[in-house]
Structure 1
Amino acid sequence: MIPSKFIGILSLLIILTVSYGCTNNPPGSGGGGGEFSYDHQQNPGLSANDLLSDESFSELIVEIDYMPGYAPNTRALDSLRAFLEQRLNKTSVTILAPTQIPSGDQNSYSANDVREIESQRRNNFSEEGILATYLLITDGYYTQQNVLGIAYYNTSNAFFGPAYDDASTGFGSLTRYQVEAISFRHEFGHLLGLVNVPGSGTDMQTDHQDEQNGSHCDNESCLMYYAMQRSDLIEQLFNDETIPVLDANCIADIQANGGK
């Protein structure tokens, strides 16, 4: 079974389905104004095969913007890169140097808020052979205060700094490295179509969806497991920094859609 320290943290992660499946590209999304065009405003999961396989894109880049006080943990970014290199069929995975952007001066940010920030701040878009993704860290909570991160577009995730603070402070809490590493990996898992995201092509090879909790795995030991109890996080004392991994069923799903 998964260590109890992970139950609360995974309960804070969410995949957000949006209604932008047919929207036009923002300016510059065609890769520098050339003929190549890629829609970065589709539902989460709809670029799963492009992320997982090398059929259309052999390289991946991850752009990161963060608001003051919430620069991402370096070890957590190393953990994310290792995860992506392990599971994606790419010749290279590059996490660009994080860029600080101005505060949004908000206590909380909605999904529409983070979409608007991306439209103003994102600089890297997919081009021939190179798939670009975007990661935003805000200085306010999500509208649901206990949520750590959301997948809100097919190549975009947002994370909420004060929720990181809550999860990584106090008696028995996880380390900041653990909180960020788990949430970064988990939300990218949703971009990969886990678990059973409609239209992603990452179909279940064996039924393992926790239907009561949406696009999450029913295995308590899996990175994609979902649980609601925050108290299990707060009340425990931990002595290691283990990060949960994908279970065999999740790995089989992404391998069937072009991953490793």
Structure 2
Amino acid sequence: MIFRALIILSFFSLINCENGKTDLPPAVLGYIALDYLILTDPDRSSVYFSSVRSLDLEVAYETAAEPFTGNYTVGGSNIWNVTDSNMQDVFADRSYSVAITVPSDLSEMTEIPDQNRSTWSVNQLLDLVPRYRKKSSNYQSTSFFIVYVRGQLVDAPGVIAVTISGVLGIGPPVIFVFKDMIEQFNNNIALPDKAKKAEQMTLTHELGHALGLVNAGIPLYSSHQDKDHGNHCTNQSCGMFWALSETKVEAFNPVSPLIFGQECRDDIRNYNP
């Protein structure tokens, strides 16, 4: 089993990646992806891009931590079209088709009880999986489980989301999104869509990790891995760049929803396991 802890911080804050410790102030925003790779199960990149013909996102949310739904204030497009469009693009231009199912309304998601936590350990997050996950995967279909919770990660209080895959038999990748961290983007009345955009950019980024970007299952087609920041892209405009800044969120236009840079898209297009 290989364990990876990948931490992405906005505002270019410093982190000691060797010992895994950070001194993050609460206002600092970022990502963390924890990738566990087991090479004998159906939940790995070589399966996603060979025999899988359907991919489904199962979304659950803690009471008062529901994801944004509906339409963007500016432009009017559906909020979840960002995730859907990026997943559609991931599996485009192959010799076969993959049916992508992305929910867009709370009626298509599952509300779970208030967990009464202000902090979470990875094990506490994993405890939610057998309690609330309804779907499984096999070599033809994959379902990624996404859970929105209140609070923050106890050992890294500034991260926005955690991706965990293939550990201890949990099945397909699970993404945990910390709603309190997302809402820190929602502090500008003049930019009403900022938190909504940050949430979708975060989710798409984490799905990129779950699928195997960057060089975490999907091999590199060109040299663009930012090795100083783990499995991330050197292209600052790419959604797999290690940092999500306020400026980047403000500049993102959901009308043109694709966030993966050409380097990552080339990795995917040229991966034929």
Is contact 1:171-1:237 (8 Å) kept? no
Is contact 2:29-2:181 (8 Å) kept? no
Moved over 4 A (4+): 6-11, 170-174, 236-240
Supply the distance in 2 between the matched residues of 1:60 and 1:240 (Cα, whole angstroms). Answer: 26
C-alpha distance after superposition, 1:96-147 (max 9, x if no partner): 4111001211101122111111121101001463211111111111222211
Change (3 A) 1:257 1:138: same
Aligned with 1:148 (options 157, 160, 168): 160
Supply the distance in 1 between the matched residues of 2:121 and 2:144 (Cα, whole angstroms). Answer: 20
Supply the distance in 2 between the matched residues of 1:121 and 1:21 (Cα, whole angstroms). Answer: 23
Change (3 A) 1:39 1:185: same
C-alpha distance after superposition, 1:37-65 (max 9, x if no partner): x566xxxxxx22333x2x32211111111
Change (3 A) 1:60 1:22: closer
Supply the distance in 1 between the matched residues of 2:194 and 2:129 (Cα, whole angstroms). Answer: 28
Change (3 A) 1:116 1:186: same
For structure 1, the residue ranges without an aligned partner over 5 or more in a row are 1-5, 24-37, 41-46
Change (3 A) 1:81 1:253: same
**Does 2:197 match 1:178?**
yes
Task: Give 1:233's aligned residue.
Answer: 246
Task: Give 1:192's aligned residue.
Answer: 211
Change (3 A) 1:224 1:175: same
Q: CA deviation at 1:237?
A: 10
Task: Give 1:69's aligned residue.
Answer: 64
Change (3 A) 1:139 1:124: same
C-alpha distance after superposition, 1:185-209 (max 9, x if no partner): 0000101211111xx1x11111111
**1:136 aligned partner, one-letter code:** V
Is contact 2:42-2:139 (8 Å) kept? no
Is contact 2:198-2:249 (8 Å) kept? no
Supply the distance in 2 between the matched residues of 1:252 and 1:146 (Cα, whole angstroms). Answer: 31
Task: Give 1:118's aligned residue.
Answer: 129
Supply the distance in 1 between the matched residues of 2:263 and 2:194 (Cα, whole angstroms). Answer: 28
Task: Give 1:26's aligned residue.
Answer: none
Partner of 1:212, secondary structure, is helix
**2:38 aligned partner, one-letter code:** G
C-alpha distance after superposition, 1:153-203 (max 9, x if no partner): 142211101001112224787612211110010000101211111xx1x11
Task: Give 2:24's aligned residue.
Answer: none
Task: Give 1:34's aligned residue.
Answer: none
What's the Cα RMSD here?
3.1
Corresponding residue pairs, total: 224
C-alpha distance after superposition, 1:15-45 (max 9, x if no partner): 1134x7389xxxxxxxxxxxxxx566xxxxx
Supply the distance in 2 between the matched residues of 1:249 and 1:22 (Cα, whole angstroms). Answer: 25
**Does 2:206 match 1:206?**
no
Task: Give 1:16's aligned residue.
Answer: 34
Q: Percent identity?
A: 20
Partner of 2:141, secondary structure, is strand
Supply the distance in 1 between the matched residues of 2:164 and 2:30 (Cα, whole angstroms). Answer: 15
Aligned with 1:82 (options 82, 85, 100): 85
Normalising by structure 1, what TM-score?
A: 0.75
Change (3 A) 1:247 1:22: closer
Q: CA deviation at 1:71?
A: 1.6
Task: Give 1:219's aligned residue.
Answer: 235
